[in-house]
Structure 1
C-alpha cells in the first residue's frame, strides 16, 4: 500500500463534500507530475485530504483510493475549464482515480504544525513554493501523520 497527500480547496470540494457523497472522481488535475502520481496509485492506497487555499491550510482527514486508472471525463467536455482539445477518447492524456471517504480528523493539522514537524524531504507539502496537488507520502511519515490526526480527539 502507498500513501499520498491530495489537495483540494474546501470551497471547491471539501472533505465534508466527500463524506456526503461517499465516493467521487478526483477530476481536473492538469499538472503532468501530479497526473503521473495519480497513474501510479492503486485501489486500497490511502491519501491524506489537505484543504488548501484556506486559513489555515492543512490535513483534515483520510481518504481511500477506490478505483485506479480512471479516465478524467472533464478533458473531453468543451464546457469544462479542464477541457483538453488535444485529448481524445482513444488517446486520453489525463487519468485520475476515484476516492472514497475514510475519516475526518477531530482537528485539522495546520500547515504550520506540518512545517514544525516534518522536513521538506519528508513531506513535500511543507516545501516552500510547492504547488503540486497530488504527492507521495513515505510510509513512516504517513504513520506519524495518522497518529497526529487521530490523537487530537
Structure 2
C-alpha cells in the first residue's frame, strides 16, 4: 500500500463534504498540475491518503482510501486530465497542522514541507506513521 496527501480548500470541498459521500466516495477532480496528475496515475485501489485542508486551516483532518484508479476527469473534455476516486475512512481526532509538521525534524523532507503548493503528493511510510501518531490515530 502507498500513502498520499490530497489537498483541498475547505470552502470548495471540505472534509465534511467527503464524509457525506460515504462509501460511494467522490472523484478527486479539477487537478490541473502534471506532477499531481502523474501521482494519481501511480495510485492503486486500497491506497490511503491524508485529507488536508489548505488555506487558513492548513491541517490534516481525515484519512481517505482510493476506491477507483485513474480515469478521465469528468469536469473537462481535455484528455490530459485524469483523476482517482476516494472515500472517507476516518476523521483525525486531533488535526495535524502544517506548523506542527514543519516543527518536527523527522518530517523535514516531506513533500508537504518542501512543496506545499502541490495538491496531490506522496507520503512516505514513516511520515504516515508519524502524522497518524500526532493526530491521535
Quickly name the TM-score band, shorter chain normalised: over 0.9
Distance 2:130 2:94 in 1: 15
* Residue ranges of structure 1 left out of the alignment (5+ in a row): 77-86
Matches within 5 A, 1:17-56: 17-22=17-22, 23-54=25-56, 56=57
Report the structure number with the largest CA radius of gyration: 1
**TM-score w.r.t. structure 1 length?**
0.83
Give the superposition deviation at 1:11: 0.3
* Residue ranges of structure 2 left out of the alignment (5+ in a row): none
**TM-score w.r.t. structure 2 length?**
0.92
Aligned residues: 133
Q: Deviations over 1:44-83 (max 9, x none)?
A: 00000100012x311111000011112101112xxxxxxx
Q: Give 3-state SS (helix, strand or coil) of 2:51's partner.
A: strand
Select the residue among 139, 143, 147 that pairs with 2:125: 139
